[in-house]
Amino acid sequence: MSDTLIIPTRISVIMPCYNAATFVGEAVNCVMNQTYPDVELIVVDDGSTDGSVNVLQQLATQYSERLSLLFQDHKGPYPARNVGLQHARGGYVAFLDADDYWSPDALKKLAVAMDIDHADITYCGWQNIGIGAPGTTPHIPPDYSQMDTAAEFLRSCPWPIHAALVRREAIDTVRGFSERHFSAMDYDLWLRLYAHTQKLARVPEVMAFYRWHDKGQISKIKWKQVLNALQVRRDFVTHHPERVAHLSKIKILELSEGFLLDEAYRAYWQRNLVDAHKLFRHAFIRGLWKTSDLKYLLPALLPSKLFQWLVNVADNPKGKRT
């Protein structure tokens, strides 16, 4: 791929920040030092109490011509992103959290792909880093344009929030983030964008880095994330039947409703028993099970502590502690 920009279009980067004083300076500098020639950064502080505001004010002074600093009461990252969108002036939009970062040429390569392929969304590979990361192997997603894209998007969220560049017209058409399902709002956005446009382009390089830490990330609240992700799948199938018309009803159920029980078992075998308890209960209530599943689902109808005790007893029949 050539790295020549046909018509440089301003990129608006939107960054929510909540108590990220440790990392936000690195994230801002990452944006300001991108090799792309026209980048503006809109930071929306979400009611930080840890010194983030002081760091951001110093950075706003340093980058006064390209950094806008906005404030809101603590409402969460997705409302903050919508506030940022209201102030964005670029023709392309990217999202970066205050604790993540990109390679220096990430925006340029995504923008070049946007121009060359006449795409509405370009995306790249990513890597988890930090303590507690669920695997740190670099990941390059497939070329979805060469696959059954609807099925693949239903199977899982195609990329994290910071691994894509979106044409502003497309994101305006779907009215930004819906704010309906808190821990799956990025997944919801990608599904709704796909319903609107199928013009996707991939940059097969790892350029986005997701930092794991102990600051209460949404990604760590697994059972809520699973239930929210299930609901946005249902919404996609309900509101955009034309996108899944080629799939059988059994396949649609497997990719949507079947996801819940799969994730319940995943949590159970990993002994994430709080998550397993919640997800097994929801699967039972919705009737998403076979007779062979009942030996796992029925104990989950008990209170959480009793469920965990039973599993621990089964793991240690002689009463030994792990």
pLDDT attached to residue 160: 94
pLDDT at 216 over 80: no
- What's CA 169's distance to the chain center, in Å? 21
Region 145-149: mean pLDDT is 94
Residue 83's pLDDT band, with cuts at 50, 70 and 90, is very high
Higher per-residue confidence, 136 vs 169: 169
Decide if pLDDT at 195 tops 70: yes
For residues 181 and 301, state if they share a domain: no
Domain count, the chain: 2
Q: Is residue 320 part of a domain?
A: no
Q: What does the pLDDT look like over 227-246, one tens digit per residue? A: 999 999 999 999 999 999 99
CATH of the domain at 71: 3.90.550.10
| Contact partners, residue 183, CB within 8 Å, separation at least 6 | 218, 221, 224, 225, 228, 229
pLDDT on residue 289? 85
Question: Same domain for 130 and 187?
Answer: yes
Q: How confident is the model at residue 135 (pLDDT cuts 50, 70, 90)?
A: confident
The full DSSP string for 60-90 is HHHTTTTEEEEE--S--HHHHHHHHHHH---
Domain span holding position 311: 220-315
Higher local confidence (pLDDT), 202 or 211: 202
Strand, helix or coil at 302? coil
User: In 3-state terms, what secondary structure has residue 100?
Assistant: coil
DSSP class per residue in 192-218: HHHHH---EEEEEEEEEEEE--SS--G
pTM: 0.88
Does any domain span residue 3?
Answer: no
Q: How far apart are CA 322 and CA 315, in angstroms?
A: 9
In this structure, is the dihedral angle defined by the CA atoms of residues 89, 209, 62 and 22, taken in order, positive or negative? positive
Q: Are residues 137 and 278 in the same domain?
A: no
In the beta sheet, which residues pair with residue 12?
40, 93
Confidence of residue 321 (pLDDT cuts 50, 70, 90): very low
Last residue of one domain, picked from the residues 191, 217, 243 = 217
Q: How far apart are the first and last CA of the chain?
A: 53
Residue 129 located in a structural domain: yes
pLDDT at 7: 63
